[in-house]
Amino acid sequence: MAILVNNETKAMIQGITGKQGMYHTKKMLEYGSDLVAGVTPNKGGQNVEGVPVYNTVKEALEKHPEINASLILVPAKFVKASATEAIEAGIKLVVLITEFVPVHDSMEIVELANENGVKIVGPNTIGVISPGISKVGIMPGYIYSKGNVGIISRSGTLTHEMGSNLTHNGIGQSTCIGIGGDPVIGMTHREALELFRDDEDTKAVVLIGEIGGVGEELAAQYMIDNGYTKPVYAFIAGRTAPEGKKMGHAGAIVSGNMGTAKSKITMLNKAGVQVADTLGQVVDMLKGALVK
């Protein structure tokens, strides 16, 4: 029944009274997410779209012990404190939407999460959606549709693109995960692949990567080492990017031989993954696969 986010997900938003927080509270409620609380220091007692606001995560949990996921929408400089609060309060899924989080903060958050058995998604992500069920994220819900293709992507907009392209072609998705565009992130391509492997609602996986880092190579190595029973289709953005230029995402930079599109595509091919030249080709590949 999908991964990470399902109909048992009870979410809260940290930073709920900010502009983004209020907007996405509305959007998550409209989508049918079970959003039970929000947290903003010194704003306890208010409500946003009827969702009660608390001063601390601890207070929110006292009133709503069922909370098991948090969406963090606070400014970058407060992300570490907010994430620490959520992790230490025992919330098992923490989604860090915020962009421009200092990498030293991300490393500390990830380490603390590992010690506490907490899954971190992000930072710098659109979050997670299990279409038709629930979302803990900021994606426009209606461009996704329920089905059995899993999507893993570093880029938020490419998740939207892939989700909407598949939806328009009648191919639904089980869960779509934006893992985030930063150099240090919680959940990686590899870890998301592991979750999809054991999910019976997922019949095929689309893995979207981009230049920089070695996450795609490690995912390929995992499939080579362990085998992977479900078909995986990939797309790597930035294959014609000029060397040494930062293309927006902090992680998306090629220097020397590290993180080139070529190394990713070669490794993925070795793992038996078909890599599409364009986004449109992924749709065609999936159509072919699902017809079989």
Partner 1 sequence: MDFYEFEGKNVFRKYNIKTSEEMLLTSPSDLKEFTYPCVVKSQVLSGKRGKAGGIKFAHNYEEMEEAVKEIFEMEVYGNKVDAILVAEMIDIAKEYYLGITIDPINKQSLLMFSPYGGMEIEELAEDEPDKIFKMNFTSEIDKDVLLEGIGEFNLDENIEKQLIEIIENLVILFNGVDATTVEINPLAVDGDNNLIAIDAKLVIDDNAMFRQDKYQLIDREEDKADGVNKKAKDADLIYVDLDDDGNIGLIAGGAGIGMATMDTIRYYGGKPVNFLDLGGGVTSEKTKKAMELLLTNKKVDGIVVNIFGGINNCEVMAKGIKSAVEEFGENQTVVVKSRGHSQEEGWAIYEELGIHQVKHGTTDDAVNLLLEKMEVR
Binding site for partner 1 (CB under 8 A): 20, 27, 76-77, 97, 99-104, 106-108, 110-111, 126, 138-140, 143, 153-158, 160-161, 164-165, 168, 181, 183-185, 208, 210-211, 213-215, 218, 235, 237-242, 245-252, 256, 277-281, 283
Give the closest residue to 129 by CA, choosing from 251, 24, 59.
Answer: 24
- Helices 156-168 and 279-291: crossing angle in degrees, nearest 10, is 50
Structure tokens, 108: 């500390």
d(C-alpha 118, C-alpha 90), whole Å? 8
Nearest approach, Cβ of residue 70 and partner 1 (Å) = 18
d(C-alpha 6, C-alpha 246), whole Å? 36
Find out whether the peptide bond into 123 is cis, omega within 30 degrees of 0. yes
Structure tokens, 135: 């979302």
Set 24, 160, 189, 249: catalytic member: 249
Q: How, if at all, do strands 47-48 and 11-14 pair? A: unpaired
Nearest CB to partner 1, comparing residues 100 and 227: 100
Number of Cβ atoms within 10 Å of the Cβ of 46: 14
Q: How, if at all, do strands 11-14 and 69-72 pair? A: parallel
Nearest approach, Cβ of residue 44 and partner 1 (Å) = 26
Nearest approach, Cβ of residue 191 and partner 1 (Å) = 11
Nearest CB to partner 1, comparing residues 161 and 199: 161
Q: How far is CA 144 from the centre of its chain?
A: 14
Nearest approach, Cβ of residue 229 and partner 1 (Å) = 25
Nearest approach, Cβ of residue 162 and partner 1 (Å) = 9
Q: How, if at all, do strands 35-39 and 11-14 pair? A: parallel
Nearest CB to partner 1, comparing residues 52 and 154: 154
Nearest CB to partner 1, comparing residues 52 and 98: 98
Nearest CB to partner 1, comparing residues 1 and 258: 258
Number of Cβ atoms within 10 Å of the Cβ of 232: 22
Q: How many CA atoms lie within 13 A of 17 on its CB side?
A: 13
CB distance 93 to 29 below 8 Å: no
Nearest CB to partner 1, comparing residues 11 and 60: 11
d(C-alpha 292, C-alpha 290), whole Å? 5
CB distance 247 to 241 below 8 Å: yes
Task: Please confirm, yes or no, whether 168 is among the known catalytic residues.
Answer: no
Helix or strand run (H / E) with residue 91: none
Active site residues: 249
